[in-house]
Amino acid sequence: MSRGRKKRILIAKPGLDGHDRGVKVVARALRNAGMEVIYAGLHQTPLQIVNAAIDEDVDAIGLSILSGAHNTIFPKIISFLKDRGASDILVFGGGTIPKKDLKNLKSLGIGEIFTTGTDTHEIIDYLDRTLKR
């Protein structure tokens, strides 16, 4: 009966650009790996994303950022989570993010950044490893 605790992941694409094909591929892959994916869609503000993550009690937030806004959006998410006492929620991301920024983002508390084109298995493995609560 007890199937154990299911992983719940919020997937969103903040920022202005308008395609969601890539994020949806990731969302589907996570579903196919047995996770419950809450898909919040495009154009979400950091506050909306954090509110949704808390209401949905997700284990992780996955963000796709292509617009180059990573240096503002990620820090905002981390800081809103902290404000709400929800820093235990893992934040990871994907997109075109310059190498020089990766280190800084990780030191802020972003779990991992996957560059565009990463095999979805890598993301699944990462989540399986990291989310053992």
Partner 1 sequence: MKKKLSTDEMVKRLLAGDRRSAARLITLVENEMDDHHRVMSLVYPHTGKAMILGITGAGGAGKSTLTDHLIGKFRNQGKKVGVVVVDPSSPFSGGAFLGDRIRLQSHSRDDGVYIRSMASRGYLGGLSRATYDVIRIMEAMGNEVVIVETLGAGQDEVDVIHIAHTCLVLVTPGMGDDIQAMKAGIMEIADIIVLNKADLDGADRSLRHLQGALTAGSFEEGEWMPRVVSTVSVANKPEDLQGIDELTETIAEHQAYLRKSEVMDQVKYDRVEQELGLIFKDELQKIIFRGLRGTGKKREYIESIIEQQNDPYSVVKEVLNNYLIPGE
- For partner 1, the binding residues (CB under 8 A) are 1-6, 8, 27-28, 30-41, 47-48, 51-52, 54-57, 84-88
Q: What tokens were used for 93?
A: 């991301």
Give me the least distance between CB of 122 and partner 1, in Å please: 17
Q: Nearer to partner 1 by C-beta: 55 or 125?
A: 55
DSSP codes of every residue in 78-94: HHHHHHTT-TTSEEEEE
Give me the least distance between CB of 5 and partner 1, in Å please: 5
Q: Nearer to partner 1 by C-beta: 9 or 105?
A: 9
Q: Are 108 and 75 in contact (CB under 8 A)?
A: yes
Give me the least distance between CB of 128 and partner 1, in Å please: 13
Strands 90-95 and 112-115: parallel
Q: Are 112 and 74 in contact (CB under 8 A)?
A: no
With a CB cutoff of 8 Å and minimum separation 6, the contacts of 40 are 10, 11, 12, 48, 49, 52
Give me the least distance between CB of 99 and partner 1, in Å please: 29
Q: Nearer to partner 1 by C-beta: 32 or 96?
A: 32
The amino acid occupying position 132 is: K
Q: Nearer to partner 1 by C-beta: 5 or 100?
A: 5
